[in-house]
């Protein structure tokens, strides 16, 4: 079946439908990962986005339930050059096409994803629409323009857990994970380090978190504009200095805002598994997995209180920071990336060290 991807600036891509049929709007972005499409599909951070994969062949190893990062896909649509009809993997339980159909996610294949990516890099990420129902370009462009964007929109409330739950039952360290759209591998990474993880909804107050008597608090990744999640910012502001804090991705941005800083929207964001980041403390370069469209403006933070610890070597944007007085640090990228790379796993060990140091005081 024919499908069309229309961008708000009038650009049209015609292709063929796979996955579910219908119509869906979202912000059109690209991801440069060569593997890990299942982790991308099930990452809650992609809520509200239509994701185009730059790797030309997607779906060739099928879908394995144990590799999911959440209970379902969260993105608005999926764009590929070629959707593999063959899933060659002994662990696979279903094809990519069947997985998207089951979860009602619209896909479009057969378009020039290289041309789409170059266009987004030049013009910036923009609103778009995928449709198998309405094939009138003018009508689709009008719908794309009318669609809500991501700026100022709270998407965290749509992906956070409904009530607190215990991820695992035992562990030396009690860690509370503030769920803004957490990936499962954050919890797995903590569990592997002898942490007993309690996951709480994003609207949980600082008082309720502290009442759980955690040894540390984890701020998860999540979708949308961090400045719109004012209730989480206020919670984190009250937690700083009372318990060790480690933030990832949206958690990094929330920590920056809680410390009095500002965030801004990147032109086309960082999404992929091949972004070089330098640890300014050691000058070592890590290859990182990333997925974010907003960034912390380090110049808006009090330099006497907060130090920059990591920097993106592609565009020199901030990738990590640490409070100079309190045990609170964060990174913009994903050290828990289950599809890889795994260069940044040491950050979870640093979190455990902060917990140990706090216990000694």
User: For 133-146, what is the mean pLDDT?
Assistant: 97
Q: Is 336 designated active site? A: yes
- For residue range 235-276, list pLDDT tens digits in order: 999 999 999 999 999 999 999 999 999 999 999 999 999 999
Q: Which residue in 8, 286, 336, 354 is the catalytic one?
A: 336
**Ordered domains of the chain (ranges, CATH):** 2-146 (3.50.30.20), 156-360 (3.40.50.880)
Which residues pair with residue 28 across a beta bridge?
Answer: 50, 126
Q: How far, rounded to the nearest angstrom, does the alpha carbon of residue 123 sit from its chain's CA centroid?
A: 22
Helix residue spans in the chain (DSSP H): 37-41, 96-102, 113-123, 137-146, 156-159, 184-191, 206-211, 230-239, 250-258, 346-360
**CA distance linking residue 44 with residue 228, whole number of Å:** 17
C-beta neighbour count of 212 within 10 angstroms: 14
Q: Is 24 designated active site? A: no
Q: Which residue in 8, 39, 334, 354 is the catalytic one?
A: 334
Q: Which residue in 27, 249, 270, 292 is the catalytic one?
A: 249
- For residue range 167-194, list pLDDT tens digits in order: 999 999 999 999 999 999 999 999 999 9
**CA distance linking residue 5 with residue 140, whole number of Å:** 8
Nearest to 332 by CA among 352, 350, 311, 305: 311
Q: Is 334 designated active site? A: yes
- For residue range 310-361, list pLDDT tens digits in order: 999 999 999 999 999 999 999 999 999 988 899 999 999 999 999 999 998 7
């Amino acid at each position: 079946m024919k499908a069309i991807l229309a961008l708000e600036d009038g650009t049209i891509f015609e292709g063929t439908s796979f996955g579910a049929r219908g119509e869906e709007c979202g912000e059109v972005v690209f991801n440069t990962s060569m593997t890990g499409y299942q982790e991308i599909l099930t990452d809650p951070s992609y809520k509200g986005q239509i994701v185009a994969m730059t790797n030309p062949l997607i779906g060739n190893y099928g879908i394995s339930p144990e590799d999911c990062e959440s209970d379902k896909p969260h993105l608005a649509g999926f764009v590929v050059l070629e959707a593999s009809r063959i899933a060659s993997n002994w662990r696979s339980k279903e094809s990519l096409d069947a997985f998207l159909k089951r979860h009602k996610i619209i896909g479009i294949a057969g378009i020039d994803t290289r041309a789409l990516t170059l266009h987004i890099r030049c013009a910036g990420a923009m609103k778009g629409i995928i449709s198998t129902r309405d094939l009138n370009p003018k009508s689709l462009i009008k719908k794309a323009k009318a669609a809500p964007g991501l700026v100022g929109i709270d998407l965290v409330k749509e992906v956070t857990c409904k009530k607190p739950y215990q991820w695992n039952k035992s562990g030396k360290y009690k860690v509370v994970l503030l769920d803004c759209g957490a990936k499962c591998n954050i919890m797995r990474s903590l569990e592997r380090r002898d942490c007993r993880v309690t996951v709480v909804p994003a609207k949980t107050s600082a008082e309720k978190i502290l009442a759980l008597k955690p040894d540390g608090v984890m701020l998860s990744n999540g979708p949308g504009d961090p400045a719109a999640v004012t209730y989480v910012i206020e919670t984190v502001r009250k937690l700083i200095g009372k318990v060790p804090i480690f933030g990832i991705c949206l958690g990094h941005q929330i920590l920056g805002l809680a410390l009095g800083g500002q965030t801004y929207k990147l032109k086309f964001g960082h999404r992929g598994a091949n972004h070089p980041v330098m640890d300014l403390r050691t000058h070592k370069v890590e290859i990182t997995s990333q997925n974010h469209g907003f960034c912390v403006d380090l110049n808006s933070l009090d330099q006497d209180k907060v130090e920059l610890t990591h920097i993106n070597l592609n565009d020199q944007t901030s990738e990590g920071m640490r409070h100079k007085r309190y045990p609170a640090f964060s990174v913009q990228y994903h050290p828990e990336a289950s599809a890889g790379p795994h260069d940044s796993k040491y950050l979870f060990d640093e979190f455990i060290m902060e917990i140990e140091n706090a216990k000694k005081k």
